[in-house]
Structure 1
Amino acid sequence: MVALQIRDVPESVRDALAAQARARGLSLQGLLLELVTTEARRAQNLAVLARARRRAGGHVARPGDVVAELDDIRRERPGGGE
């Protein structure tokens, strides 16, 4: 494991994070580790999505596209439109 250090954090920011940590039953270090870990995971997920988008030729489904596609497929099945 490595150690990270953040300099010049405003006291008000540190106080707000410390309060959030206490409310969640964590130390400030525990909360910060959780936040940094979550952010790193998001970055990895975004990288996976970007690779998938490139493989799909740049096509990105909009909300509802999948549902509409499934509805179309079901209607085309024998007895699916009933």
Structure 2
Amino acid sequence: MNVSLQIRDVPGEVRDAIAALAAANGQSMQGYLLELVRREARVARNRTLFDRLAGKRVRGLVVDDIVTTIRRGRDDPDRADPDVA
């Protein structure tokens, strides 16, 4: 559901700067500001997700251990070859 937003008391120089940025991008002020608001909302969602996942990190893993485990799996003779039908 779409809603309208309104910003009051925007200083003239701020409005002019936004109008210039929008024009430089070939956009209307409406389009420019909508893109800006969407981007900020996306960043906020990503930050929230990152913060939530950061607490679930597996600690103590070393890159060499991960590489060794992957190589063992690849070298396993009992491993089915995904390229063979």
Superposed, which structure 2 residues align to 1:18-33 within 5 Å?
18-33=19-34
How many angstroms does 1:56 deviate by? 2.4
Query: What CA distance in whole angstroms lies between the structure 2 residues aligned with 1:55 and 1:6?
Result: 39
Query: What CA distance in whole angstroms lies between the structure 2 residues aligned with 1:29 and 1:8?
Result: 17
Query: What CA distance in whole angstroms lies between the structure 2 residues aligned with 1:54 and 1:12?
Result: 43
Give the TM-score normalised by structure 2: 0.68
Q: Which runs of 5+ in 2 are unaligned?
A: 72-85
Decide which moves more: 46-55 or 31-40.
46-55
Question: Structure 1 segments of 4 or more deviating over 4 A?
Answer: none
Question: 3-state SS of the aligned residue for 1:55?
Answer: coil
> What amino acid does structure 1 have at the position aligned with 2:4?
A
Instruction: Quote the sequence identity (%).
Output: 51
Superposed, which structure 2 residues align to 1:57-68 within 5 Å?
none
Q: Which runs of 5+ in 1 are unaligned?
A: 60-68, 78-82
Query: What CA distance in whole angstroms lies between the structure 2 residues aligned with 1:55 and 1:47?
Result: 13
What is the match of residue 10 of structure 1?
A: 11
Q: What is the CA deviation profile of residues 15-53 of structure 1, one whole-angstrom value per residue up to 9, with x for unaligned ones? A: 000000001000000000000000000000001001101
What is the match of residue 83 of structure 2?
A: none
Query: What CA distance in whole angstroms lies between the structure 1 residues aligned with 2:56 and 2:48?
Result: 12
What is the match of residue 50 of structure 1?
A: 51
Over the aligned positions, Cα root-mean-square deviation in angstroms equals: 2.5
Query: What CA distance in whole angstroms lies between the structure 1 residues aligned with 2:12 and 2:31?
Result: 18
> What amino acid does structure 1 have at the position aligned with 2:14?
V
User: What is the total number of aligned residue pairs between the two structures?
Assistant: 68
